[in-house]
């Protein structure tokens, strides 16, 4: 199914099942990694199309995930929860801003598709939390030295802060 016909997160059974624990978020991330690594088929003749044939998280129906390629910076919307964001087309560092004050369970996936820096910036007054603690006024960066395919999943908690639930590759928290 082409990306021009995405299935909503509700159809995938993801948005309405807000994560009850980090373990649930990890399961969703693992499914996303599986989809990105094993199920998506890259059509080399048309770099803007991805197709998939995948069983839904809820076991219901098949569908597409929304993948948005960013050649420049952008502010993500809470309604985009569950989508994949890449730096495909970037020619320089890009900054993707997370929605400020997002509801608990809002989540995003990020994937490196070009060897340029990708920074994920939390909303105003929001924290980033991960294994090394929390960082106020900081952003998460993949500074382009890593490999294509490096990925990150981030989920909003009950305080509208962002928890890094899983990452693959060379990411860091920077101010």
DSSP classification of residue 6:
P
pTM recorded for the entire structure: 0.66
Phi-psi map region of 48: left, alpha, beta (phi>0 left; psi -120 to 50 alpha) = alpha
Task: Give the pLDDT confidence score for residue 27 in this predicted structure.
Answer: 73
Task: Give the pLDDT confidence score for residue 38 in this predicted structure.
Answer: 42
Residues of the chain with pLDDT under 50: 1-17, 38-62
Task: Give the pLDDT confidence score for residue 94 in this predicted structure.
Answer: 93
Q: List domains and CATH numbers for the chain.
A: 66-174 (2.60.120)
Task: Give the pLDDT confidence score for residue 120 in this predicted structure.
Answer: 94
Task: Give the pLDDT confidence score for residue 84 in this predicted structure.
Answer: 94
Q: Which two tokens stand for residue 144?
A: 């382009």
Task: Give the pLDDT confidence score for residue 33 in this predicted structure.
Answer: 64
E strand or H helix that includes residue 95: strand 94-97
Is the separation of the CB atoms in 144 and 120 below 8 Å? no
Task: Give the pLDDT confidence score for residue 19 in this predicted structure.
Answer: 62
Task: Give the pLDDT confidence score for residue 35 in this predicted structure.
Answer: 59
**Distance between alpha carbon 115 and the CA centroid of its chain, in Å?**
17
Task: Give the pLDDT confidence score for residue 65 in this predicted structure.
Answer: 81
């Amino acid at each position: 199914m082409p990306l021009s016909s995405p299935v909503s997160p509700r159809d995938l059974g993801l948005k309405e099942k807000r994560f009850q624990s980090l373990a649930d978020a990890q399961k969703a991330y693992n499914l996303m990694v599986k989809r990105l690594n094993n199920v998506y088929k890259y059509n080399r003749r048309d770099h803007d199309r991805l197709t998939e044939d995948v069983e839904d998280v809820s076991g219901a129906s098949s569908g597409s995930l929304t993948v948005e390629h960013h050649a420049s910076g952008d502010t993500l919307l809470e309604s985009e929860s569950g989508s994949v964001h890449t730096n495909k087309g970037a020619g320089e560092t890009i900054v993707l801003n997370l929605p400020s004050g997002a509801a608990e369970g809002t989540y995003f996936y990020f994937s490196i598709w070009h060897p340029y820096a990708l920074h994920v910036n939390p909303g105003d007054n929001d924290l980033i939390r991960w294994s090394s603690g929390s960082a106020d006024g900081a952003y998460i960066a993949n500074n382009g030295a890593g490999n294509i395919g490096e990925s990150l999943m981030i989920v909003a908690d009950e305080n509208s802060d962002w928890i890094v639930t899983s990452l693959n590759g060379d990411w860091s928290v920077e101010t």
